[in-house]
Structure 1
Amino acid sequence: MKTIHSTQNSFVKQLKKLHKKKYRDQMSQFLIEGPHLFAEALSAGQVMPYLLVEEDKLQTFQPPKDSEVIICSEDVIRTLSQTESPQGIIAVCHILKPPMTDILQSNCSLALLDDIQDPGNLGTLIRTAEVLGMTAVVLGKHCADMYNSKAVRATQGALFHLPVIRDDLNGLVNKLAQANVPIFATAMDGLPLEKVQIERKYAVVFGNEGRGIDEHLLSAANERISIPMAGKTESLNVTVAAGIVMYGLQAKKNG
């Protein structure tokens, strides 16, 4: 079993490049940290070509057969970690790119994210969509990178169980219209959620934390929907609003 003790090791330097989106895109790989994300990746059949662990953590898990296990010093793990308290295990994962055709099924329920900028919000939205049984999440071109370490941690492993695709949302809504998939968009002046009628398939758009949804996407929607506010606060955080809307729509779809 290979061991690495120096943070100046060339392989360590190469992996550290994955902290930046530029190199994640070039190498089609990203890093995950900790036993929970490792277990989620393993349960989903995610290919992990390299597994870097501190020696005292080796007995706490069963590495997959197709992974090269490398014993690393605490300093190496700390160098590759992007958390304040590293958990002693880091895995290299492949970036998967599921085809759009796989998600445009007869009873699809899609969450379209328009320009979500905060990686934590993005990860939480993906986690919420997976929990609520959405078919897929589609990220607009200007969304934050889902393989940013903060986004990956916020998904709590949901990114391994749900197709997440980056696409041009303006082009996608045209395809959805041609496929007779109803499109909903969240807006303050929309129809109250409880009055919305849906069929077995739909897409729903959630917008940027500050500006909301792009006007072109709003105009392409079949229906604008809103969450009735009983209090005096004018708006909700996008992750909270999206959770309420997806829960409501999924309940109608499956009811």
Structure 2
Amino acid sequence: MLPLTVGNSRVKEARKLSRRSVRTERRLFLADGPKAVEGALEAGRVVEVFATPDAARAYAGLLTDAPVTLVDDRALASLSDSVTPAGLVAVCRFLDVDLGALTGGSGPVVVCADVRDPGNAGTIIRTADAVAAAGVVLAGNSVDAYNEKTVRATVGSLFHVGLTIDGDTASVVARLQGAGYRVLAADGAGEVDLFDADELLTGKVAWLFGNEAWGLPADLAALADHRVAIPILGRAESLNLATAAAVCLYASAAAATRMGR
């Protein structure tokens, strides 16, 4: 059977998932590249994998039990926003869950309030996966978790970490506190220095991070149990959001490790 072309109706329907409104309506999204496809297959979220003949041969081991549809290079490129597509794009089912599903897990919960950059959101999800966090909440007016750039930035970790999407950040904070979590706001003006925060970093902890440009609004920071500042030892004005999140999450992991010894 010949590979499907860019004008094929199935390819056209899949291409519509590049629009957020269509993703939301169908609760389907595109995962581009072998790492993302591997994660989606392991998580059981794949509906269909579009692959070029060359990619299907190169990743035959990965695609053994996958529902694969062969497409030509132009059709595959129309489904990918990568500059150099790897030849695999999967149509996947949404995987976000209610916040209650995260609070039953171990590890910290990460709350991103109004995080707009897909690269930052994806990197935070990837870091949360690396520290075995219970999950990530994209709260307020945060970027779409299923945006192609966000998915790609997670490098497959989107399928490994619990994900919640909630437009009401204050409600998320209150629910976490009600579930016994100590909510720590990452705030440059915080009253607690991260280097002195070990006692706060153990047990059930949720980190609250704000927007890339303006950080956490005062009203949200005030809802946290403590505001924690990352010390700046040199002359840098501040840290990139994803970098700050990584520092805080690894500080939590280190504190938990020390307490477990």
Contact kept, 8 Å, 2:51 with 2:76, in 1: the verdict is yes
Alignment partner of 1:217 is 2:220: yes
Q: Cα offset for 1:214?
A: 2.5
Alignment partner of 1:248 is 2:245: no
Q: Cα offset for 1:68?
A: 2.9
Residue 175 of structure 2 corresponds to which residue in structure 1?
A: 175
| TM-score after normalising by structure 1 | 0.93
Contact kept, 8 Å, 1:186 with 1:205, in 2: the verdict is yes
Q: Cα offset for 1:248?
A: 0.6
Structure 1 residues 226, 165: CA separation in 2 closer, same or farther (over 3 Å shift)? same
Distance in 1 (alpha carbons) for counterparts of 2:105 and 2:27 = 31
Contact kept, 8 Å, 2:3 with 2:52, in 1: the verdict is no
Distance in 2 (alpha carbons) for counterparts of 1:244 and 1:108 = 15
Residue 195 of structure 2 corresponds to which residue in structure 1?
A: 194
Structure 2 portions without partners, runs of 5+: none
The percentage of counterpart residues that share the same residue type is 31
Number of aligned positions between the proteins? 252
Contact kept, 8 Å, 2:193 with 2:230, in 1: the verdict is yes
Residue 144 of structure 2 corresponds to which residue in structure 1?
A: 145
Q: Cα offset for 1:107?
A: 4.6
Partner AA of 1:186 in structure 2: A
Alignment partner of 1:68 is 2:67: yes
| TM-score after normalising by structure 2 | 0.91
1:150-196 CA distances to partner (integer Å, 9 max, x unpaired)?
11111010000001111122111112222331110011122110111
Distance in 1 (alpha carbons) for counterparts of 2:238 and 2:8 = 49
Query: Cα RMSD between the aligned structures?
Result: 1.6
Residue 89 of structure 1 corresponds to which residue in structure 2?
A: 88
Which stretch of the first structure deviates more once superposed, 72-81 or 153-162?
72-81
Structure 1 residues 78, 252: CA separation in 2 closer, same or farther (over 3 Å shift)? same
Contact kept, 8 Å, 2:170 with 2:220, in 1: the verdict is yes
Distance in 1 (alpha carbons) for counterparts of 2:90 and 2:99 = 27
Partner AA of 2:43 in structure 1: G
Q: Cα offset for 1:212?
A: 0.5
User: What are the equivalent positions in structure 2 for 1:102-181 lying under 5 Å apart?
Assistant: 102-105=101-104, 107-167=106-166, 168-181=168-181
Q: Cα offset for 1:64?
A: 5.1
Q: Cα offset for 1:48?
A: 1.3
Residue 239 of structure 2 corresponds to which residue in structure 1?
A: 236
Q: Cα offset for 1:99?
A: 2.6
Structure 1 residues 72, 112: CA separation in 2 closer, same or farther (over 3 Å shift)? same
Contact kept, 8 Å, 1:170 with 1:216, in 2: the verdict is no
- SS of 1:49's equivalent in the other structure is strand
Q: Cα offset for 1:108?
A: 4.5
Contact kept, 8 Å, 1:35 with 1:87, in 2: the verdict is yes
Q: Cα offset for 1:119?
A: 0.5
Contact kept, 8 Å, 2:107 with 2:132, in 1: the verdict is no
